[in-house]
Structure 1
């Protein structure tokens, strides 16, 4: 399954219960992201925090997508195939957006609604120009 930038925005918008008009408005906004880096921290066993920073985000969803890309690549590096999103906190200071995303990584599809297949997600991130670890 191939995901393009146009496909990621509606998926993220659905997660936040956005309307079709909100999604269309978001897609029409200029998007020139500057990805400033990713820091990882193992919290406990398979629970991992990803600190991401960027400029040019349109909203929290762009920051969350960057965190998801980091989590997917991290899972693959550690020999796991999946991750489950726990939470993402986003704050903006001036033109810099910071995100703190927490994921559980696992070798089998975890229970929960916010799971990702790491290989599929990393491929989508690469196609959409979102860096990974």
Structure 2
């Protein structure tokens, strides 16, 4: 019985050996190329951002979210709510076209942003704002 226990223990140890790395992750080196804002109507604002080096669509969307958060603070508001974001890649440049509402109080909906908290998070991640 003891021999079986030792054998199973050895098999378990072999199963715990680290796997060989398939490929090292590509370093994230974004280049943020700018933000343009357009006031559409009252509290409805459009943000267009461009960047290179995005890992996927979420990087450009995050850039737009950071811009919206800072814009809300600049206008004296504390909150933003995502209406829509379109992200596309063109000639190696990732672009996001996003629309947010900004407001002094927490808006209704599920995609709300506390602008002050988000701007601090953007700074910690190195994502520029307006």
Task: Give TM-score, length-normalised by structure 2.
Answer: 0.80
Aligned counterparts of 1:32 and 1:94: Cα–Cα separation in 2: 17
User: Any unmatched runs of 5+ in structure 2?
Assistant: 1-24
Alignment partner, residue 103 of structure 1: 100
Count of residue correspondences: 106
User: Any unmatched runs of 5+ in structure 1?
Assistant: 1-27
Q: Which has the larger radius of gyration?
A: 2
Post-superposition Cα deviations, 1:79-127, rounded to whole Å, max 9, x if no partner, equal 0000000010011012101110100000000000000000000000001
Aligned counterparts of 2:42 and 2:74: Cα–Cα separation in 1: 15
Kindly indicate whether residue 56 of structure 2 is the aligned counterpart of residue 67 of structure 1.
no
Query: Match for 1:89 among 79, 86, 91?
Result: 86
**What are the residue-to-residue correspondences of 1:114-125 with 2, within 5 Å?**
114-125=111-122
Kindly indicate whether residue 62 of structure 2 is the aligned counterpart of residue 47 of structure 1.
no
Task: Give TM-score, length-normalised by structure 1.
Answer: 0.78
CA RMSD of aligned residues (A): 0.8
Aligned counterparts of 1:36 and 1:102: Cα–Cα separation in 2: 19
